[in-house]
Amino acid sequence: MSTPVLKLVAQRIAMGVLLLLAVSVLIFVGTQILPGDVAQSILGQSATPQALENLRRDMGLNDPAYIRYFRWLGGILTGDLGTALSSGQDIATSLKDRLWNTLFLASAAAVVSVPLAIALGLLAVRYRNGPVDKIISGLGLASTSLPEFFTGYLLIYFVAVQLQWFPSVSTVYEGMPFGERLSAIALPVTVLTLVVLAHMMRMTRAAILNVMQSAYIETAELKGLTPFQIITRHAFPNAIAPIVNVVMLNLAFLIVGVVVVEVIFVYPGMGQYLVDHVAKRDVPVVQACGLVFAAVYISLNIVADIVAIVSNPRLRHPK
């Protein structure tokens, strides 16, 4: 690989790290502004002033903010996310399981939805403006427009309660056989696929159509290639960058934005974990989750950028 590409890639990664640092500051400041107090939230309505005072002292909530920030950052860099205020458990341990579950659900949904979306997109371009294109677009838009809790409940009612094909409760646990695990997540994966499918499919279609206007496509047509060959050999490779961008955006959504699906299907993922701890003002956990989410977003975007750079022949073969 040539130096300009390496340089560009290195720049992207460095930018990403800087961005992550900036986000860490934002997260820390944001959690400081949240209303309410950790101690009060843990003890809830049954708090006595004395228990509150004891708890606040134990947690070191009285130190200045910048000291707590650097203490926190130092911990993260050494792999120590601290302990959860509410349950006293090690955050890294419990976060790891939850993150793994989330990644499992997201990758299952991605394995189904990404190839499906791209194939449907290609198909729509091939038969553009015909009935096939219209049906694909119409169904895709309809499935995206329905809120995910609605599709979720519909699936639960018909597939889980009436037909009893798949369980409505998607609880997964360590040591669960792989087959059972897949059966457990069948319904949430279906919902997530329906949610992200249309976006990726429509973008694939638009990106390829954009390329189809180019002069070299006309050349390809004139030299007698079949329409499908033109799409796969000439249009698609040139449309990879925007497609990867939208795929990455949707992958990021699958990881950080599925809390509603998690709640409906009782899936033990990151979203529910984060919401529980926000409700309890468990600041260390909220900060750790926020940082993980930010890291996922930033790194997926870096990947998209790098793919765009690498797939661009003008950058790979500079004059």
Partner 1 sequence: MSNELDYLSRRVALGKLSRRDFLGRAAALGVTTVFANSLLSSAALAEGPVKGGTLKAGMQGGASTDSLDPATWQSQVPYKFGRQWGEQLVEIQPDGKLNPKLATEWGSSDDAKVWTFKIRKGVQFHDGKEMTPDDVVATMERHSDANSKSGALGVMGGIDNVKKDGDTVVFTLKEANADLPFLMDDYHLMIQPGGGKDKPAAGIGTGPYKVVTDEPGVRHIGTKFPNYWDGDKRGHAEQIEIIVINDATARTAALQSGQVHMINRVEPKIVDLVKRVPGVTIQNVAGKGHYVFIAHCNTAPFDNMDLRLALKYAMNREEMVKTILRGYGSVGNDTPINKAYPLFSDDMEQRKYDPDKAAFHYKKSGHDGSVLLRTSDVAFPGAIDAAQLYQQSAAKAGITIEVKREPGDGYWTQVWNKQPFSTSYWGGRPTQDQMFSTAYYSKADWNDTRFFNEKFDKLLLQARGELDEAKRKAMYRDMNVIVSDEGGVIVPMFNDFIDATSKKVGGWVPDGNQEMSGGYALSRCWLIA
Work out how close the CB of 232 gets to partner 1 at its nearest, in angstroms, rounded to a whole number.
43
As beta bridge partners, residue 83 has: 90
Residue 169 binding partner 1, by CB under 8 A: yes
**54 makes contact with partner 1 (CB under 8 A):** yes
User: Cα 107 vs. chain centroid, distance in angstroms?
Assistant: 10
CB of 51 to partner 1, least distance (A): 5
State yes or no: residue 60 binds partner 1 (CB under 8 A).
Answer: no
Total binding residues for partner 1 by CB under 8 A? 45
Tell me if 161 contacts partner 1 by CB under 8 A. yes
Q: Which residue, 282 or 305, is less far from partner 1 as judged by CB? A: 282
Q: Quick one: which segment of 83-91, 139-147, 233-241, 251-259 binds partner 1 (CB under 8 A)? A: 83-91
Alpha-carbon span 52 to 25, nearest angstrom = 28
Q: Shortest CA distance to 253 belongs to which of 144, 179, 92, 170?
A: 144
Restricting to residues 268-287, name those near partner 1 by CB under 8 A: 268, 272-273, 276-277, 279-280, 282
Name the one residue in this structure whose structure tokens are 């500079």. Answer: 318
Contacts of 260 (CB under 8 A, 6+ apart): 148, 149, 152, 271
The answer to the question of residue 15 lying near partner 1 (CB under 8 A) is no
Q: Is 98 in the site for partner 1 (CB under 8 A)?
A: yes
Give the distance from CA 110 to its chain's centroid.
10
- Distance of alpha carbon 87 from alpha carbon 98, whole angstroms: 16
Site string for partner 1, 235-274 (x = CB under 8 A): ----------------------------xxxx-x---xx-
Q: Give me the least distance between CB of 170 and partner 1, in Å please.
A: 10
Other Cβ atoms closer than 10 A to 199: 19
By CB under 8 A, residue 62 contacts partner 1: no
> Minimum CB separation from partner 1 for residue 96, in Å?
13
Smallest gap from Cβ 66 to partner 1, in A, equals 26
Nearest to 49 by CA among 58, 59, 39: 39
How far is 10 from 133, CA to CA, in rounded Å? 40
Query: Which pair of structure tokens corresponds to residue 257?
Result: 């934005």
| 173: its two tokens | 């646990």
Residue 287 CB partners (closer than 8 Å, separation 6+): 27, 28, 31, 72
90 binds partner 1 (CB under 8 A): no
Instruction: Give residues in contact with partner 1 (CB under 8 A).
Output: 35-37, 40, 42-46, 48-51, 54-55, 84, 86-89, 94, 98, 153, 156-157, 160-161, 164, 167-169, 171, 173, 263-266, 268, 272-273, 276-277, 279-280, 282
